Structure 1
Amino acid sequence: MICAVYKSSKKADTYLYVNKRDDFSDVPEQLMALFGVPKFVMVLPIEKLMQLGQADINKVRNELAEKGFFLQLPPPKEDMLKQHRRQLGLDDLPRRDN
């Protein structure tokens, strides 16, 4: 199985995998509207790959087979303030609500 990968023109680090190049017929219209104009990135031999950089290869394969597409969203941004508070042990203190 080969799939085509597209980058979103509206959402940073968001990618769309489809079964056939330039065929977005399985992708809901609302999703395409949010995704923007797809920018072709590459064609992947998805069956031969053992892993992908940011996405679970098995999930990509399953969704391509079941839905005809896979949407890869960027990882959630880390909240540096929460991480710092956790390191200082401040998250364990009771909160004062005014």
Structure 2
Amino acid sequence: MQCFVYKSLRKADTYVYLREADRFDVLPAAIAEALGNLGFVIEIELSPQRKLARENVDVVIGNLDRQGYHLQWPPPAESGQAS
């Protein structure tokens, strides 16, 4: 499955995977507004055998099939406090 990845220019480390290039209309209005402008990052071919750095490829493919997009949120912040 071909996939187009964009980064939010407003929210650091937040990415949107789209099934079709520049099809931002598939994003719910509240999400699109929160993300702000999006910048193109890469076009990739997704398959169950492909590993993604921070996402489960099966979940991404499922979201693209069902809703046309997948959101990748920033990783949880580490507390930085020792126990």
Q: Which amino acid aligns with 1:21?
A: A
Structure 2: which 5+ residue stretches go unaligned? none
Task: Return the index of the structure with the highest Cα Rg.
Answer: 1
Counterpart residue number, 2:54: 54
How many residues matched?
83
Could you tell me how far apart the structure 2 residues matched to 1:2 and 1:49 are? Answer: 14
Counterpart residue number, 1:26: 26
Q: Which has the higher strand share?
A: 2
Structure 1: which 5+ residue stretches go unaligned? 87-98
CA RMSD, 1 decimal: 1.2
Percent identical pairs in the alignment equals: 34
- Runs of at least 4 residues off by over 4 Å: none
The 1:14–1:49 alpha-carbon spacing in structure 2 relative to 1, beyond 3 Å, is farther
Q: Which has the higher helix share?
A: 1
Structure of greater relative contact order (alpha carbons < 8 Å, 6+ residues apart): 2
Q: Does 1:65 align with 2:70?
A: no
TM-score between both structures, scaled by the size of structure 2:
0.93
